[in-house]
Amino acid sequence: MKYTQLGRTGLKVSRLVLGTMNFGPQTDESTSHGIMDAALDAGLNFLDTANVYGWGENKGRTEKIIGNWFVKGGDRRDKVVLATKVYGNMAPDDSPVWPNHDKLSALNIRRAVDASLKRLQTDYIDVYQFHHIDRRTPFEEIWQAVDVLVQQGKILYVGSSNFPGYKIAQANETAARRGGTIGLVSEQCLYNLAERRAEMEVIPAAQDYGLGVIPWSPLHGGLLGGVLKKEATQGRRASGRAADALKDTKTREQIQAYENLLDKHGLEPGEAALAWLLTRPGITGPIVGPRTQEQLDSALRALELELSEELLTSLDEIFPGPGPSPEAFAW
């Protein structure tokens, strides 16, 4: 396994991040535990989740699955860099609607941390992430809440997810003025070959402020995982984001060109898409969300791929990025 520092911190994390969103909704607890064991055996030490995973009436279920895995012993918790998230509404679906059960108020942050710790059956969270921006809560209040949690030993670092570049700057400038907390150390953003808008401002902002970048949906909902080949040879139709994207003729032509290119080089599309992300400046490691052991094995193989300059150039030709701002929209 290859490791890197998480942004400007001294924390060492694997260059793949094990995403757990499927644990519970699509993958049962026993299989989820097997996947986490296999990931740990392979040296993958960075585990990402969120308090809302499990969704609907099962919100929190994924954190409980992870907690049950930790208490099996074998130093599982000590070997893992654990990241979870706060923002989504955690009130029971069948309860009356009450305020302060979501977003980033000091009250909800305090409530959400304690609830996550209980579900995860641990006494601290390594990287506590804001799942979305909160337009109503000032960063002064957010950082005050974070300072207390750090002092209590409940969290060690703080990251963001789905933040625009200006909010990364605003958050860390506020942290610098206040002193105390070191501010955001990571950003999770939507980033892959087919969706490169993060290159305009989010990734440059993260690099300037010393944040590690953790791309989510590295295969763009399966679009970059050989979807057309699977459709032709296995009769497996695309669904979700991939199915919507393929309705566009230009996108379908792009994906066909992409699959043809990788077939020419003898590479699996999904593995190549992950390997491409690992070549990008500022990237800590993409989040992979395997539902099966086979999917985890495929993701691990991406770590060993060396993409030639010729291939990287060809990929840029198929999926040209927007380039940095302001040149992407001005001069």
Q: What is the mean pLDDT of each run of 10 residues along the chain (331 residues)?
A: 97 98 97 98 98 95 98 98 97 80 97 98 98 98 98 98 98 95 97 98 98 98 94 80 89 97 97 98 97 96 97 98 94 92
* pLDDT recorded at residue 293: 94
* CATH superfamily of the 3-222+270-311 domain: NADP-dependent oxidoreductase domain (3.20.20.100)
* pLDDT recorded at residue 237: 77
Distances in whole angstroms, Cα of residue 239 to Cα of each of 220, 227, 310: 11, 10, 32
Give the pair of three-digit tokens for residue 230: 């699977």
The position carrying tokens 């985890």 is: 296
Catalytic residue status for 87: no
* pLDDT recorded at residue 92: 79
* pLDDT recorded at residue 166: 98
* pLDDT recorded at residue 223: 96
Q: Which residues contact 159 (CB under 8 A, 6 or more apart)?
A: 83, 127, 128, 129, 130, 184, 185, 186, 187, 188, 211, 214
Active-site pick, 53, 157, 191, 209: 53
283 φ/ψ angles, rounded to the nearest 5 degrees: -85, 125
Please state the domain extents for the chain: 3-222+270-311
Give the pair of three-digit tokens for residue 305: 């791929």
* pLDDT recorded at residue 308: 97
Q: At what angle do helices 29-41 and 61-70 cross, to 10 degrees?
A: 50
Distances in whole angstroms, Cα of residue 280 to Cα of each of 30, 69, 188, 285: 35, 33, 15, 10
Please state, in angstroms and rounded to a whole number, the distance separating the CA atoms of residues 167 and 188: 13
Please state, in angstroms and rounded to a whole number, the distance separating the CA atoms of residues 161 and 133: 8
Distances in whole angstroms, Cα of residue 95 to Cα of each of 66, 69, 109, 216: 26, 29, 20, 31
* pLDDT recorded at residue 325: 94
3-class SS at 286? Answer: coil
* pLDDT recorded at residue 236: 78
* pLDDT recorded at residue 93: 76
* pLDDT recorded at residue 145: 98
* pLDDT recorded at residue 170: 98
